[in-house]
């Protein structure tokens, strides 16, 4: 069991968590780490068959899975599943808004239908998750919400306008909640991971050229979903609000904060140079 799980378990001896998008990728890795500490975990996902397989893994890791087929775009569905988990587990200590999808392509290449799809899951899914979790956490006067955004929310990489916008909105929502809960014992954290090896591209909607670029960036990513999960939970255990994954992303964050126009002019060239190098390497 990792130090971060030990810390969270001491802080919340009830050890009750809900994770959306829990059946695969980053969500599943977060659940596996929590399971190693004996947590009861609400595995929420829209993929029923994958949920069954995930539940077996959680039991093998020492956790207690409580699965629910949940569509995060449906607030009633998510709220009901959250209340049912809380009734069965005796409450909620940690709620991770992780469910997400990806859209690539320039602004003019992105159909309005793809905007609606990605906004519904990446932004409104987090809104619905916070709305489901906060009343329970306020009632208990404790708890943690982790909103999984992305480095894309501040990097603002070209050809990812729809995805970038949703993740920037999640960062802003989290900052707003932080201020609203400033005098409360409820913690809000926002995770901003860069590219890591996961299955996010399985449902990617993008033109062929952007699909190829994203595939290259994923293939040569520096870390795995398991490592990303550990970094996110470690940040939450320390009480961090901004969780940079990996931590060196903070340098890029500061570059944009202090020199925004210089950053906006230089980053597209940095990205093109990186992709060209990966194509040559591939």
Condensed to tens digits (0 to 9), the pLDDT of residues 52-75 reads 999 999 999 999 999 999 999 999
pLDDT for the residue 220: 63
Mean pLDDT over 206-210 rounds to 72
pLDDT of 207 reads 76
Q: Which residues are catalytic?
A: 163, 167
Rounded mean pLDDT, 3-9: 95
pLDDT at 7 over 80: yes
Query: Which tens digit of pLDDT belongs to each residue from 128-186?
Result: 999 999 999 999 999 999 999 999 999 999 999 999 999 999 999 999 999 999 999 99
- What pLDDT was estimated at residue 281? 78
Please report the pLDDT score of residue 15 as a whole number: 98
pTM of the model: 0.94
Q: What is the mean pLDDT of residues 192-199?
A: 82
**What confidence tens digit (pLDDT) does each residue in 210-227 have?**
777 667 666 767 889 999
pLDDT score at 258: 97
Averaged pLDDT score across all residues of the chain: 93
Res. 32: pLDDT tops 80? yes
| Three-state secondary structure of the chain | CCHHHHHHHHHCCCCEEEEECCCCHHHHHHHHHHHCCCCEEEEEECCHHHHHHHHHHHHHCCCEEEEEECCCCCHHHHHHHHHHHHHHHCCCCEEEECCCCCECECHHHCCHHHHHHHHHHHHHHHHHHHHHHHHHHHHHCCCEEEEECCCHHHHCCCCEHHHHHHHHHHHHHHHHHHHHCCCCCCEEEEEEECCCECCHHHHCECCHHHHHHHHHHHHCCCCEHHHHHHHHHHHHHHCCCEEEECCCHHHHHHHHHHCHHHHHHHHHHHHHHHHHHHHHHC
Domains of the chain: 3-248 (3.40.50.720)
For position 221, what pLDDT does the model report? 72
């Amino acid at each position: 069991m990792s130090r971060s799980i030990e810390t969270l378990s001491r802080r919340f001896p009830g050890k009750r968590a809900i994770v959306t998008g829990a059946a695969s990728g980053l969500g599943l890795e977060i659940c596996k780490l929590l399971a190693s500490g004996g947590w009861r975990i609400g595995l929420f996902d829209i993929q029923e068959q994958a949920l069954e397989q995930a539940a077996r893994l959680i039991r093998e890791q020492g956790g207690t899975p409580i699965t629910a087929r949940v569509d995060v775009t449906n607030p009633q569905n998510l709220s009901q599943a959250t209340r049912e988990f809380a009734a069965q587990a005796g409450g909620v200590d940690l709620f991770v808004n992780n469910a997400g999808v990806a859209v690539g392509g320039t602004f003019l290449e992105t159909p309005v239908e793809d905007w609606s799809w990605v906004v519904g899951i990446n932004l409104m899914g987090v809104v619905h998750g916070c709305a489901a979790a906060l009343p329970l956490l306020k009632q208990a006067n404790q708890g943690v919400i982790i909103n999984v955004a992305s480095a894309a929310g501040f990097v603002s990489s070209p050809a990812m306008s729809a995805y970038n916008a949703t993740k920037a909105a999640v960062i802003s929502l989290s900052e707003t909640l932080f201020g609203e809960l400033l005098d409360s014992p409820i913690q809000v954290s926002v995770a901003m991971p860069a590219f890591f090896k996961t299955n996010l591209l399985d449902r990617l909607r993008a033109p062929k050229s952007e699909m190829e670029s994203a595939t290259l960036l994923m293939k040569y990513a520096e870390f795995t979903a398991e490592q990303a999960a550990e970094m996110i939970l470690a940040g939450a255990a320390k009480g961090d609000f901004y969780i940079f994954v990996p931590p060196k992303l903070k340098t890029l964050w500061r570059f944009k904060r202090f020199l925004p126009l210089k950053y906006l002019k230089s980053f597209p060239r940095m990205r093109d140079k990186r992709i060209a190098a990966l194509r040559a390497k591939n």
